[in-house]
Chain A
Amino acid sequence: MPLPVAIRLENVTAHYAAVRAIDGLSLTVHRGEVLALIGPNGSGKSTTLRVAAGLLDPVAGTVEVDGRTRTADPQRYARRVGYVPQDADLYDELTAVQNLEFFARLYGLRGFELDAAVCRGLARAKLIDRATARVRTFSGGMKQRLSIAVALLPDPPVLLLDEPTAALDPASRDALFADLHKLRDDGHAILLTTHHLDEAEQGCDRVAILDRGRLIADGPPGELLRAKPTGRAVLFGRLGEPLPKFVERRVRQRLDPGIELEITGRRMRLSAWGSNDLGRALAIVLSEGVQLDAFRTPAGRLEPKAKAA
């Protein structure tokens, strides 16, 4: 039996920088679930998170956390959502304890409750031995853990993370997902954004693919990636810089048979039978150091079966 819905976005449209950043988006995240939003730059991933966090008011549609909207009670809504911004920014000049104390006080914790929350936060961030060190001396992974610990201070049922692995090495990334899985098992609903398909596949219970503010696919990563080849899945990309011939040769050598790669100047077209093969092919392209400024999939072509599911 599925756990109750923690976040519900219903036909949400929101603007960002004079652009319709999300367009009629409907999405739910249940308690005990990790959902990854993936898509190219500008697809509306971060905007979706900002709307869910209450930082951005939608121009249409409703956003609910545990059945409550932000407009009804902004303070209570804020206590039910933990938001971790993209750069895991905290007060670098303060220590880990001072940061935790400050945010815990903002959430109204005092006395014993405050001390307990700070200790829990330090333990959660695995920073007990660095409690009195200034945050500016921390590594990216430590900052990210502390940032998540701060977001979890009021014990919110919903955790929103904007590209949490962007500045992390593979080991820190694995550790972060292990922590997120523990939180999921404790009943938290986790909504995160990522550019990495492998992360979404391995670390998340469900994946939602956004393109130009619209949901083009939504389902468990396994189902999405095991979709039967009903047609060729295609991905268009724009390279950050023209690809040297020797890199292109190396990429082609590693691609499975049946994968088509066309490169014209800075334009790239990648196609495969099914998104599973396409995802793997994209991972190979990226692992060879190819810089992609943007990529998109034609709506309705990527995961038609999974979307229906």
Chain B
Amino acid sequence: MTYLSLILTLAGKDWRLFWADRRAAVLAFTVPILLASAFGLIFDRPSPADAQMRLPLLIVAGDSPFARQVAADLEACPRVEARIVSRNQADRLLEERRPSVAVILSAFDSFAGRPTLEIYHHPLCTMEAQWAEGVVTEVVMKRYAAERFGPFAVRPPFETKAVAVGGPETRFNAYSHSFCGMTIQYLLFWGMESGLLLLRERRRGVGQRLRAGPVPFMALLLGKVVATAGLALLQALVTFAFGYLAFGVTVGPSVVAFGIMAVAVCLFAAAVGLLVAAIGGTESRARSVSVLAILGLSMLGGLWVPTFLLPGWLRDVSLSLPTTWAMRGLEGATWQGRDFLDTLPSVAAVLGFTVLFLAGAWWKLAASEKRERRGVIV
């Protein structure tokens, strides 16, 4: 019997065990889809091509004609969704974050000295406050210039155009990001489950039977890797197929790049599983540590929200994480539309981590097998 057929036999057993519990199998395909869809829904914003994004804004109008005129201009501005309220109403609505920014125009009741324009905002919404400041400043300046120099002075001598940069063929939507991120995260959890299964199997009588059988230890581990990676690949393909059909998540132009990247990520998930089995100790300890590690890797690797939202030093740290490269690779091969060669660095990085994790797991598991054969309870 060849070594390869031995590995395939062991992997086939895990494949059958996976399908033996049909409901669990269905959930294994449904959960990543639900997670990715939910994240996409939360972060989805209309693209500039579809509609202008408008900032919800409260206006506390002043008594002067200038302030009232500015309030009217803001109401007419296509970049904000303005609503005129009293000061008390503004305070109450800001507390409830409905919306999160208010501009107080009463400062313009008198231009004696240098009036201060107050922008009130919810503590968590500094970005919206800056946005509001920009829009209000522009509107006030236009109105001020028009009143001082006549209507012809209000047009700036240039036009602006915002271009989303992502790759040769950018087709970004929030679902593209969430389907990449949540798929990677789920596959890591799948790897963890597979590792826990290996731990459980080794402690059961059936594990003793396998160890007493004509199966080299290395074949047992490789069989587990093949099974875990194979099922992970199937889950990834089903998740992206759903993303394509339901939310327009695109792959390519290089399908090969996507395929290779997906295989690399699935092998990495399998390596994570073996590492969990190797260093986990007891099952409950392994589960707790793995959940913490996977959530940390997901957060820092940009699987939940893009890494540019992280502080600068954390962005640098994230470059040393496998999840960052997995995310880069999958995003490159999907909505960024990068070609095969552009994806190769990410593939190489993820495979490098895979080899590292596999070597560590093999070393630890082989040592524990040796100890067990010497009669040490591990």
A binding-site residues for B, Cβ under 8 Å? 14-18, 21, 47, 53-57, 59, 74-76, 78-79, 81, 83, 85-91, 93-94, 98, 102-103, 105-108, 110, 134, 150-151
Contacts and interface: CB of A to CB of B under 8 A. Distances in A.
Interface in B358-378: 373-377
B205 A14 contact: no
A87 B205 contact: yes
Given A17-B377, A56-B375, A94-B17, A85 B209 contact: yes
Interface string B11-40: 011001100110000000000000000000
A70 to B, nearest CB: 10
Contacts of B5: 105
- A-B CB proximity, top 4 nearest: A89-B205, A85-B205, A108-B1, A93-B20
B209 A150 contact: yes
A91 B13 contact: yes
A55 B377 contact: no
Nearest to A102: B13
Contact of A107 (B10, B17, B204, B213): B213
Contacts of B211: 55
Among the interface residues B1, B204, B214, which one has the most CB atoms of the partner chain A within 10 A? B214
A81 B9 CA distance: 21
9 contacts: A15-B374, A15-B376, A57-B373, A57-B375, A74-B214, A78-B212, A78-B215, A83-B209, A87-B204
A106 B2 CA distance: 10
Interface in B190-240: 204-206, 208-216
B208 A78 contact: no
Given A17-B377, A98-B16, A103 B213 contact: yes
Nearest to B374: A57
Contact of B204 (A57, A79, A89, A94): A89
Among the interface residues B6, B10, B212, which one has the most CB atoms of the partner chain A within 10 A? B212
A90 B16 CA distance: 14
B8 to A, nearest CB: 9
B47 to A, nearest CB: 47
Interface of B: 1, 5-6, 9-10, 12-13, 16-17, 20-21, 204-206, 208-216, 373-377
A51 B13 CA distance: 27
Contact of B212 (A76, A81, A88, A108): A81
Contacts of B17: 91, 93-94
Contacts of A134: 20
B26 to A, nearest CB: 15
B274 to A, nearest CB: 20
Contacts of A79: 214
A273 B186 CA distance: 70
Contacts of A106: 6, 9-10, 210, 213-215
A89 B16 CA distance: 17
B202 to A, nearest CB: 12
Contacts of B205: 85-89
Contact of A15 (B13, B204, B210, B375): B375
Contact of B214 (A53, A75, A85): A75
**How would you classify the secondary structure of chain B's contact residues: helix, strand, loop or mixed?**
helix
Contacts of A103: 209, 213
Nearest to A105: B9
Nearest to A78: B214
B92 to A, nearest CB: 58
Contacts of A83: 208-209, 212
B214 to A, nearest CB: 4
A53 B21 CA distance: 32
Contacts of B215: 78, 106
Contacts of A54: 212
Nearest to A73: B214
B9 A102 contact: yes
B29 to A, nearest CB: 18
A85 to B, nearest CB: 4
Contacts of B9: 102, 105-106
B194 to A, nearest CB: 15
Given A105-B9, A106-B6, A89 B206 contact: yes
A94 B374 CA distance: 32
Nearest to B6: A106
A284 to B, nearest CB: 33
Contacts of B16: 94, 98, 102
A55 B10 CA distance: 19
A91 B14 CA distance: 10
Contact of A108 (B10, B214, B373): B214
A90 B208 contact: no
A15 B372 CA distance: 10
A91 B208 CA distance: 12
Contacts of A16: 375, 377
Nearest to A77: B214
Contacts of A107: 213-214
Contacts of A87: 204-205
A132 to B, nearest CB: 12
Contacts of B10: 106
B21 A93 contact: yes
Given A106-B210, A134-B20, 9 more contacts: A18-B375, A56-B374, A57-B374, A78-B215, A83-B208, A87-B205, A94-B17, A102-B13, A102-B16
B214 A89 contact: no
B198 to A, nearest CB: 14
A55 B377 CA distance: 12
Contacts of A85: 205-206, 208-209
B160 to A, nearest CB: 62
Nearest to A58: B375
Among the interface residues A98, A106, A108, which one has the most CB atoms of the partner chain B within 10 A? A106
Contacts of B206: 85, 89-91
B222 to A, nearest CB: 14
Nearest to A90: B206
